[in-house]
Every structure is written in structure tokens, then in C-alpha cells.
Amino acid sequence: MNLLTDPWVPVREAGEFKLITYEELLCEDRDVAIALTRDDMEHACLQLLVSLTQVTFTPRDKKELRARIDTPLTGEEFKAGIEPFIDWFDVAHSTHPFMQVRGVEAKGPTSIQKLFTGLPEGDGTHTFFNDSNEIQSAGLAAAAIALFNQASTSPNFGGGFKGALRGVPVTTLIRQEAVSTLDDTPGGGRLRRLIWWNVLHFGRLRLWNMNWRDWSFDHFRKHLTGDQPTWVRPIERGEKIAAADIGLLRGLFWQPAHVELLVEDIDGHCDYFDIETRPITRSFKKAKFTYDVSAMWQHPHSAKSWKEKNNQLEQGYVSFRTTAPAWTQLTQFMFERRSENKEGSEPAAVVHQYKDLSDGFGLELSLGGYRNKQASVVERRHELLQIGAGWQGGGAALKEITNDALAFRENLVRRSAGFGKAAGVSGLGNAASSQFYQRTEALIHEHIGELDHGAFEARRTALAETLSKHCLTIFDQITQPYRHKPKMLIAREKARAGLEADLAKLRAKAKPAT
């Protein structure tokens, strides 16, 4: 099965699940949407499609990108674009199958279920599915998406296995489904346009990668067609690799592990898609090997952050490190930030480009990733953040909204934890934090989604009043069980009075200056 020519893209069209070809997707304006049973797999499938399109059809400039968004490729354009890469994306190729290595030396086969991030081998406990051995066999389409997801965004298979180039990142993609660059009405071809909104044109790539500043477009295309992926030119054991030497195609499709699907040319059932298919895979081989990548490869689909410590610059990609919702990191995903203490962050390159292309459109970010503890996935995360029109110049307003909300939470947590300490009860601060996020999630989304810079001060004041009420309600609820203890009454009332004073200061700060 070749990703460039065979039907593998899982979509729903007119209520029916089907697999369509990459050509049908890019050359027709069909009203289809990715259809998978897990949001992380849908996000991975979209990122895979974006990455394929980036390397096979990079637009020359902004004008050409706008044309690609507006108009499907012709059959001739499609064939010309994929021709140099046709041999690299065959999942069952005899010598260099997609994202695999032939002849992997392993103690034995691993159940195909383990390829799907978050699932165990065999009968072990797992996070995302209800039954053991839920995926006993898979078609090559499902396996290809799982391979890409495992290699690109997960902590990989366990100790001793190298992880993705970005670690365990938050992948940031634009959710714009406009019919064209001039019309924001959804319609046919939404998935096709969604892909193109996340493809960088060459002019943007030159700004993104300093090494390409002096390149011509023709030189860049020649670079791509010679940029062999890791399954064509494998990473050598013990190899020392400079991140700057990793090309765009090789980096987007980096496979950090030695993996080989065991493909059976028989009719069977794909347990993930729940369809009959041929061939199938029920297991794969995996093996550890070591190498070293120095510095940080610049990935276009993730925000990065940095800080200087002991005269050394520490940088990495933004990730989900806590259970806090994604809006708490909103400005990192949207705006470049540099501070005097040499800390900062920068949004993904696709967000930079969208700011230039959006012509006043609102912004909807699709944020996906995992929260992990070493090699174990402890939480799957996928969130949508919708920001109102005018966000391009709204960094200060959005920062005020998120900072205000976090300040209310911080005071609630501090006062709750303080009372808990007096009562000899642990965990009240964490309980207060969790309830705050649950109660205010929709409220914060409403305020960032309906951002009106002309009425921002009034909205900020109203938000502060509402957040204050939520904080007092949460405090009362989590301390209610201790009201029957007389010696706790004074401590509780003292903590509540302190919280009320804190909240009053925050409300005053949120009011317009007179």
C-alpha cells in the first residue's frame, strides 16, 4: 500500500466511512472529514497529510499557496508532484517500507496493539481502550497512521528506545476550513483546504530556516528530492547527528526506532477501522539502538520555549506537563515572546504564516499531544482554542485574560491549601485547582472566542467578577466537610476572609483606569 497512490485516508462522506486516495483528496472538492475513533489518531492523520503535502507540493510563495487553498490540483499537477517521492511511501516495500527498517533483530514479535500509543502489549492494563487485545489485527492504512504517530509525538516504546525529535510535544495545527482565502463560509473541500492552510510556502520556509535564506526555489526542490527519509537512508547505530543537517522531509518523517511490520498477504479484519481488508498485520518487530542528535531540530508544527540558565540556552517544544487546560499556555501558542531575563517562546511556524494570510479571520487552533511519565502515557490531550477576529493585534488583551484567570486560581489554591494545612488535610489545593479549571473552562473559551478590543475593558471587569464568584463557591464547597468541627471554624473563616480580600484586589486591578 502506497500512501501517494492507494486508498488509505479514512474519511466520512455523506454519513459513510470509506478510504479514499491522496489524489482524490487534493484533486477534488469532496465534502469529507477525517473519521477515526480516537482524537489523537485523527490529529496524527491530519499531521501526516499536512507533512506529505508539504514535501510533495510546497508552494513557491504566498500567491501560489492562496491558489492551492482555493483550487484543487489537476491530475497532471498531482502526478508531477508525487513522482520524485513515489518509491518512499510504500508501507510494504520490499527493501525500504514506510517508516520501517527491514531485518529488525528482535527477541520476538510484538502485538500490533502496542503500535497504537497508550495501548499495552497483550493483556496489560491500558489507558484508552476498554478491552484487552482490542486490536489484534490492522490494515496497512491504520498501521501507517499509528507508525507516524508513534514516531512523531509519543514517548515511544519504553526504556532504551529513542524518542521523537520533539520529545513529547504539543502539535499545533490551524483548523481553518474556509472555502477560500476570501470567504470564511464552510463548504465542500473542507479537509483539502484544511491541509493547505497548514502547508508553509517557500517564502515562509526561508524565514523559518536560516540555512535556506539564500536558496532559490529550484534549489529547495532539489534538496527535497534528495532528502532521503530514515527508512531509505537509515540512522547508523551510534551516529552523531547535527540537528541543522536534518532536512525538511527527513525531519517531518523522522523514525527514531527500528520497527518492522509483519505483513500477511491474506484477507482479514482491521480491528481499528472495523473493515475487511487485505493485507493485514498482527504484529511487528522492534529493537533498541542508540544515536545522538545535537541541538534542536526546528519543527514547523510546534511552539517552542527557551530560557537561559548558567549562561546556557535551554530550549524545547511546548508540551502538556500538567493537567492544566491548554488556554493557560495560550500566548505561547500564538505570539512570540521575549523577556529581559532571556526567557521566551515562539509559536509554531504554521501560526506565524496564518497570521500573515488570515485577512482578519478568527483563529482556531487544534492542539494535540500526550502527557507522559517517562515512557508511559498518562493522559491523552486534544483541545480546540477558538480566538475571535482581530487576534492578530490582540496579544496584550489575550495575555490579560489568561493572566487574570491564573491569578484568581493561584489565590484560590493558596488559601485552600493554607486552610488544609491548618485542618491537617492534604490535597485541598489540588482539589481547588481542578474544580477551578472545570468550572471556568467554558467561560475562558467564551472570552477569548469573542474577543472585542473595543469593549475589552468592560469584558475584563465582567470576567473578574464572575471568576471571583466561582472562587468563593469552590472554596465553600471543598471546605464544607470541616464546618462541623468547632476548632476549624475560625481557621476556615480566616482563610475565607483572606481569599475575599485577595479577590477584591484582583477585581480592582481588572477595572478600567479612571
Q: What is the mean pLDDT of residues 189-200?
A: 94
More confident residue, 390 or 164: 164
pLDDT of res. 251: 96
Q: Is the pLDDT of residue 105 over 80?
A: yes
pLDDT of res. 121: 65
DSSP letter, residue 512: P
Nearest residue to 99 (alpha-carbon basis) of 248, 226, 286, 282: 286
Write the CB contacts of 427 (distance below 8 Å, at least 6 apart in sequence): 420
pLDDT of res. 511: 86
pLDDT in tens, 338-372: 776 678 889 999 999 998 888 777 889 999 999 98
For residue 260 the three cell numbers come to 518492522
Question: pTM for this one?
Answer: 0.92
Q: Is the pLDDT of residue 450 over 90?
A: no
Poorest-confidence range of 240-244, 458-462, 466-470? 458-462
For residue 388 the three cell numbers come to 475571535
Torsion sign (Cα): 484, 486, 488, 489: positive
Nearest residue to 331 (alpha-carbon basis) of 314, 340, 343, 322: 343
Q: What is the mean pLDDT of residues 498-502?
A: 97
Question: Cα-Cα-Cα-Cα dihedral of 24, 25, 30, 36, to 10°?
Answer: 120
H-run or E-run covering 383: strand 376-387
For residue 492 the three cell numbers come to 476556615
122: pLDDT confidence band, cut at 50, 70 and 90? low
124: pLDDT confidence band, cut at 50, 70 and 90? very low
Q: What is the mean pLDDT of residues 149-170?
A: 87
pLDDT in tens, 141-152: 999 999 999 999
Mean pLDDT score across all residues of the chain: 90
Q: Is the pLDDT of residue 175 over 80?
A: yes
pLDDT of res. 181: 55
Count Cβ neighbours within 10 Å for each residue of 368-391 and write b for 16 or more, e otherwise: bbbbbeeeebeebbbbebebbbbb
Q: What is the mean pLDDT of residues 456-468?
A: 90
pLDDT of res. 457: 80
Number of helices and strands in the chain (H, E): 15, 20
pLDDT of res. 512: 80
Task: State phi, psi for 95 to the nearest 5 degrees.
Answer: -120, -35
- CB distance 283 to 112 below 8 Å: yes
C-alpha to C-alpha distance for 369 and 175, rounded to whole angstroms: 16
pLDDT of res. 514: 60
∠ at Cα 305 (235, 316), nearest 5°?
Answer: 25
C-alpha to C-alpha distance for 446 and 32, rounded to whole angstroms: 28
485: pLDDT confidence band, cut at 50, 70 and 90? confident
Domains in the chain: boundaries:
9-291, 396-510
Looking at 3.90.79.10, 2.40.30.10, 3.30.70.20, 1.10.132.100, the CATH number of the domain 396-510 comes to 1.10.132.100
pLDDT in tens, 247-284: 999 999 999 999 999 999 999 999 999 999 999 999 99
